[in-house]
Every structure is written in C-alpha cells, then in structure tokens.
Amino acid sequence: MQSLLRGIHHFRNGIFEQQRELFARLVEGQSPEALFIGCSDSRVAPSMITQSGPGDLFELRNAGNMIPPYGASNGGEAAAVEFAVVGLGVKDIIICGHTCCGAIGGLLDPTTVEKMPLMRTWLEHAETTRRIMEENYPDVPDTARRNIAVQEHALLQIENLQTHPCVAVRLQRRELTLHAWVYKLETGEVFAYSPEAGRYLPLAAELVPVARQT
C-alpha cells in the first residue's frame, strides 16, 4: 500500500502539475476514443498497452472481460455500454481478453473457483464458451486449451454486445465498430480477430476493422 501512496504523491506534485492543461481540459468533459472492455486482472493495463492517456479510453473491467447478453444480468455492464455508446458516442468498442486469465481458468476447471460462489454464478454467463471448448476442442492440451478459450470467449462477447439495443442500432447505421483483441502476457503483443482471415492476427499499427456481418 505504501508504494501506492508514494505514487499518488508523485502524480499530484509531478505529473499533474506538468500536464495541467490536459487535466484542465478533462474537467470540461470527456470524449474517449473507444470503450475498452477488459479483464480486472492486474497484469492487463489498458492505458499502458495502448499507450493512451487520461480521457482516451472509457474502461469497463470485470473478471473475464464479460458482457452478458442484454437482459441477462442486472449488473453495471449494460449501463456502462449504454453510457459509452449513447452518452459519449464512442465509435469503437474493444473486447480485450488475455492469456493466463484466471476467470477462463475457472471456467475450464471449476475446482479453482470452488470456494467462490459468486464467481461461479458470474461464470455462468460464459457457459457458451465452456460448451464450445467441451464439444469442439475436447482433446487439446491444457495451455493451448486455455488460449483457445480466451480467443473464443472474446468473440462470444462481441456477439453478446450485439444483443444490446444501443449497440445494434448503431451497428446498423454503421456508426460503430467492434473489435476482439487478445493481449499476450508472455510477449506484450496484442492480437486482433480478423473476420477475413477467420483467426486472430498480430495487431497492425493500422486498425483492422472487426466483426460485424451486416
């Protein structure tokens, strides 16, 4: 905890002072480039990965970067999506999964979340991911299995996003683009799903437009 307090002091007296103009502008309002939906995992740092700053990303983070289908949860996920899309008018939504994800691990091996009843309930929203892994990848070894699950899971969240009315409407108007990414902890690389290639590819400096079939 001590290091966090030192960090706050350093931020306030150093960085905040140096970038006063930026922070003064942000007081007036926000106009983020994208809604970033990522995992709560402490090793995934959206601003660092994307080298963005305050005001650039509207972030929604939870265990397993999940967006339950519209109406399936009373959590804050749907409200955050609605606020980003309708309130802030974001043009891009990124679902970013990551390797070594504990939530995906719990999904594939429920014994790891045995003593976490709320986590087990939350993971029910990822039942489709679990079923796809069970039925389509039965014989894949453990590590590869978890990586595939992370990839499939991000794509399923893209599908869930499309059940949200505010998202569906803007997709139909072609005012919104959805992106499925996977951050690889081991190398620092980000992979993006390419509908044309039918698989994840290393993210090029130019944004690969992503999922949507309309």
Residue 39 binds Zn ion (CB under 5 A) = yes
CB of 99 to Zn ion, least distance (A): 9
Report the residue from 81, 101, 107, 133 that binds Zn ion according to the rule CB under 5 A. 101
Residue 150 binds Zn ion (CB under 5 A) = no
**Residue among 25 and 120 whose Cβ is closer to Zn ion:** 120
Residue 41 binds Zn ion (CB under 5 A) = yes
**Residue among 35 and 39 whose Cβ is closer to Zn ion:** 39
Task: Determine the interface stretch with Zn ion among 81-89, 99-107, 114-122, 200-208 (rule: CB under 5 A).
Answer: 99-107
CB of 129 to Zn ion, least distance (A): 13
Q: Which of 99, 80, 98, 101 is nearest to 35 (CA)?
A: 80
CB of 100 to Zn ion, least distance (A): 8
Q: Which residues bind Zn ion (CB under 5 A)?
A: 39, 41, 101, 103
